[in-house]
Amino acid sequence: MTTLDLSPAPGAAPLAQMVLAQAGAEIRATLRNGEQLLLTLIIPILLLVGFSKAPFLDVEGPRVDFVAPGVLALAVLSTAFTGQAIATGFERRYGVLKRLGATPLSRTGLMLAKTAAVIVVELLQIVVLVLVALALGWSPHGNPLTVALLVILGTAAFSGLGLLMAGTLRAEATLAGANLVYLLLLALGGVVLPVSAFPESIRPLLEILPITALTDGVRSVLTGVGGFPMGAALVLLSWAVLALAAAARWFRWE
């Protein structure tokens, strides 16, 4: 039988080590989860290829130039909001958040790890989607740093909304709700269908959705039509502040 030295030698690991370990576990869990990959990669790739090739869209210029920015925004939505909400909802339901709360990993450390995991998965998505789009003849313009800023603001807004949902609803309700919101925002938020396709009466409503702000902002930069998309950035910033504050206020760990 193995002998173990059980004599007490307590001590917390350095914060960076704990955060990296937890982020690694979350990334592995995401990449292994089939349903998650469907939302984060397969659907965005299918939409990108389908809407770039098939003549459904009536837009100026090459269709891929319109679709690629929308699909990049969808990738952010799928990981920061849908994936995170569902994963965190079930972690809460199965007592994982409670159990982690009893380890030296603080709640701040856990949130850092979740954020790091979301960003790493988003980078993987962006690399894959950009390669597919380039293969489809995409020619992006604009400043990549502006796109990065919009993606970070969008990530903050969607993470806040996802955590708010996961921390207040039952896991099953979060699962259903997060998928429903994904579909609604995919349809309404200018991802592959231009917002101009909707009746004028509801357009102002659609334009303040975080997904619309992200798709419009990223699209205006990458198609090189305008300067800095201040309106989109402000909408995303407002969503981020409100959603993160609400999540911090109402999130229940058990």
Partner 1 sequence: MEDAAVEVRDLVKRYGRVTAVDHLDLRCRRGEVTAVLGPNGAGKTSTIEICEGFRTADSGSVRVLGRAPEDPELKPRIGIMLQSGGVPQAARAGEWLRLVSRFHAHPLDPAALLDRLGLADHARTPYRRLSGGQQQRLGLAAAVIGRPELVFLDEPTAGLDPQARHACWDMVRELRAAGVSVVLTTHHMDEAEKLSDHVVIIDRGRVVAEGSPAELTGAERQLRFRARPGLNLDEVLSALPPGSAAKESPAGHYIIEGQVDPSLLATVTAWCATEGVTTEDLSIERRTLEDVFLELTGRELR
> Which residues in this chain contact partner 1 in the complex, by CB under 8 A?
1-2, 4-13, 17-18, 21-22, 25, 28-29, 32-33, 90-91, 94-96, 98-99, 101-106, 254
Decide whether 6 or 54 has the Cβ nearer to partner 1: 6
CB of 138 to partner 1, least distance (A): 35
SS (H, E, C) 74-86: HHHHHHHHHHHHH
Q: How many Cβ atoms sit within 10 Å of the Cβ of residue 188?
A: 17
Decide whether 108 or 196 has the Cβ nearer to partner 1: 108
CB of 95 to partner 1, least distance (A): 4
CB of 87 to partner 1, least distance (A): 8
Decide whether 23 or 209 has the Cβ nearer to partner 1: 23
Decide whether 56 or 250 has the Cβ nearer to partner 1: 250
CB of 8 to partner 1, least distance (A): 4
Decide whether 17 or 196 has the Cβ nearer to partner 1: 17
Give the DSSP letter of residue 13: P
CB of 27 to partner 1, least distance (A): 12
**Long-range contacts: 128-135, Cβ < 8 Å, 24+?**
128/41, 128/45, 129/44, 129/45, 129/48, 129/68, 129/71, 129/72, 129/75, 130/68, 130/72, 132/45, 132/48, 132/49, 133/48, 133/52, 133/64, 133/67, 133/68, 133/71
- Distance between CA 63 and CA 236 in Å, rounded? 26
- Distance between CA 242 and CA 211 in Å, rounded? 15
